Structure 1
Amino acid sequence: MPNSRTNELIEYRRDVADLQRRIRNRRIQVLGLYGTPLMLISALISWIATKNLFWLGQDMPGSANVAFLAVSAILAAATALQFAVEFSNEFWEWEDEGKSVSQLRLDLELAEERRILEARRLTPSPVERQASYKERTPAEVERLRRESRHYRRVHLWMQWLLFFSSAGVTAITAWYDPPQPGKGVLIALGFTITVITAANGYFKPRERAFNLQQTADNIEQHVTALDLGIAPYVQEEAANLELFANNVENMRVEQRKREQQLDQPHQGQQEVI
């Protein structure tokens, strides 16, 4: 009976995970379906704008023409292929061809509702749920560390781009006296520096990475303490599992509070603190 109950819950979770995967895939398909034609139009407009901005009244260099032509041809071929796959039966079929993301989201909500109702009907005892919660904790630790690594990489890329852009402004200012092309490059680098500085101050990737890594380390410390039976987990198994679940949830709540503080403007953060 317990195995049958577990298998039923696993099947419902598998259905939910499959729908989540299909939603991700369909988003990518729709993004390509509508994004590629827009990129093609942008490439053609950029081609015309570059010709009028830098080579007005004269022939555009062959290398530039070839580059724009190659990009436009690739985007046109990708657009034609995606439209053919989406609207024609002569090619292979996408898994959710012709279905909108909103329809898949509705299917996901219904699947989640079925899973919740069945889980409520087949709910195990509190001790079993706490033991299951403990087994899921390593995945939560890995998720926190993965997000921490992501924000660290974002911060490092932003810093390196900021360094190179700042150095490029100085170098180009020293090398180029004519208005073009040095002036256009300086404008682009200055714009890049402004955007990166503003984004770094607003999104705070370094602080987010530090908070996520700290929470992951704290949760892992409690997992190790529970496995080894050391303080504060020196009671009966049921009491230890209850205390462990309570501690981990408190740490997750604190992590969410820190994330909310980072999302607030500086004035709001001072008021919260």
Structure 2
Amino acid sequence: MSAQPEPDAGPAERLLEHNKKILELREAIHDAKLRHRLMVACGTGTFVMLLAIALPTAITWRTYDLAPINTVLVLLALILGLGFAGVGSIETPTELIDPQYPAKGRRRSSVRELELQLELAFERRLREAIPIDLPVRNRQFAYKESIPEELEKLRKESARYRRRHNVFQLLIIIGSIGNAGAQAFSDTAQPLKSIIIGLTMLVAASAGVSGYYKFRERSFNLQQTADSIEENTNAFHLGLAPYDSGDASVNLARLTDKVEALRVEQRRREQQLDPYFAGDRFRSVASGFA
């Protein structure tokens, strides 16, 4: 169980407790998002099963016997409904619920509430780290230890943008093929004209969204930054140039400078893709140790 840092503990021990709380909150947020997806999937599946039972039965009433099919659908709906109730009953660990910001009388915090507590945990860690006058080399070492986590964040964001790009490109391809096929029979039936209009709007909207948000370019830039950071980190651990100096502190300073330069360059590329981009996507971990 996670506990609040003891008042009589040393600054370093209290800082470790804050880091532990942050890691636990991140894991709880991941679990809460997974529960939300499962609840949506189970709830939607239950609704679809019930709809699949009601509509065909109403249409084919006293015409076809759908009892065998409806039995299977009822069992599926029951299983999905039980899954929805079971996932919804999972509670957030009580040690992660901040007594100052309770989950509104519930024992299960939402993703938004957990993210709020995570931000508060970041602020507490920052306030705890301010009085600690760490040497520059120690702060650089802590910065280096945060690189694997930053790499994971960069790759996840790159994969998300890549999936969005692939989805919109797939919509453009399918819409273009369907549009071309529908136009070949456009003179035969009036409904096909509506299909052509819909497919044309789908292709235009997909191309516009993909071109405006530049998912492919964002994914490429993020992946390129992650690869460059990983390349420099591996060179540092293997003692390759430019990290082949006999003085370890010099190599650590070079790595810190290079990684931070790559992050700054990534933020500049992000701003070039979106003129209205004002958020700092990558929080500088070193500021937490200043």
Q: TM-score range by the shorter chain?
A: 0.5 to 0.7
1:204 and 2:210 equivalent? no
Check whether the contact 1:234–1:240 (CA below 8 A) recurs between aligned residues: yes
Distance 1:188 1:75 in 2: 33
CA distance in 2, matches of 1:28, 1:138: 23
SS at structure 2 position matched to 1:159: helix
Residue 179 (structure 2) pairs with residue 169 (structure 1) = yes
Taking the TM superposition and a 5 Å limit, the aligned residue runs for 1:15-34 are: 15-23=21-29, 25-26=31-32
User: Unaligned regions of 5+ residues in structure 1, if any?
Assistant: 45-57, 63-69, 87-91, 266-273
Q: Is the 8 A contact 2:155 2:226 kept in 1?
A: yes
Other-structure match for 1:108? 118
Q: Which moved more, 1:19-28 or 1:205-214?
A: 19-28
TM-score normalised over the length of structure 1: 0.66
Q: Structure 2 residue aligned with 1:187, among 194, 197, 205? A: 197
Match of 1:130 in 2: 140
Q: In the superposition, relative to structure 1, how do residues 124 and 202 fare at CA in structure 2: closer, same or farther (>3 Å)?
A: same
* CA deviation string 1:16-63 (max 9, x = no partner): 232344445556767888999999999x9xxxxxxxxxxxxx99xx9x
Residue 241 (structure 1) aligns with: 252
TM-score by length of 2: 0.62
Amino acid at match of 2:189: P
2:35–2:87 CA contact under 8 A, matched in 1? no
What is residue 252 of structure 1 aligned with on the other side? 263
Q: What's the CA shift string for 1:133-163, capped at 9, x where partnerless?
A: 2233234334323433333333233223211
* Alignment CA distance shift 1:35-1:139 (3 Å): closer
Equivalent AA in structure 1 for residue 251 of structure 2? N
Deviation at 1:179, TM superposition (A): 1.3
Provide Cα deviations, 1:92-121, integer angstroms capped at 9, x if missing partner.
453284656554444333322332233334
What residue identity is the alignment partner of 1:114? Answer: R
Letter of the aligned partner of 1:17 in structure 2? L
Pairs aligned (count): 246
Q: Distance in 1 between matches of 2:28 and 2:234?
A: 36
Out of 80, 89, 94, the position equivalent to 2:91 is 94
Larger helix proportion, structure 1 or 2? 1
Do the aligned residues in 2 keep the contact of 1:37 with 1:75 (CA within 8 Å)?
no
Distance 1:191 1:12 in 2: 51
Q: Which runs of 5+ in 2 are unaligned?
A: 1-9, 51-58, 65-71, 94-106, 277-290
Distance in 2, matches of 1:84 and 1:225, equals 48
Identify if the C-alpha distance between structure 1 residues 172 and 209 changes in structure 2 by more than 3 Å, giving closer, same or farther.
same
Secondary structure of the 2:190 match is: coil
In structure 2, distance between residues paired with 1:85 and 1:216: 35
Name the aligned partner's letter for residue 233 of structure 2.
V
The CA RMSD measured in Å over matched residues stands at 4.4
Inter-CA distance 250–146: structure 2 relative to 1 (3 Å threshold)? same
- The aligned amino acid for 2:119 is E
Q: For residues 68-103 of structure 1, what are the alpha-carbon distances to aligned partners after superposition, in whole Å with 9 as ceiling and x for unaligned?
A: xx99x98999789868986xxxxx453284656554
Query: Among the aligned pairs, what percent are the same residue?
Result: 32
- Give, in angstroms, the shift of residue 126 of structure 1: 2.1
Answer whether contact 1:130 1:245 (CA < 8 A) is retained.
yes
1:11 to 11, 17, 36: 17
Please tell me whether the aligned partners of residues 37 and 76 of structure 1 are also in contact (alpha carbons under 8 angstroms): no
2:42·2:83 contact (CA, 8 Å) conserved in 1? no
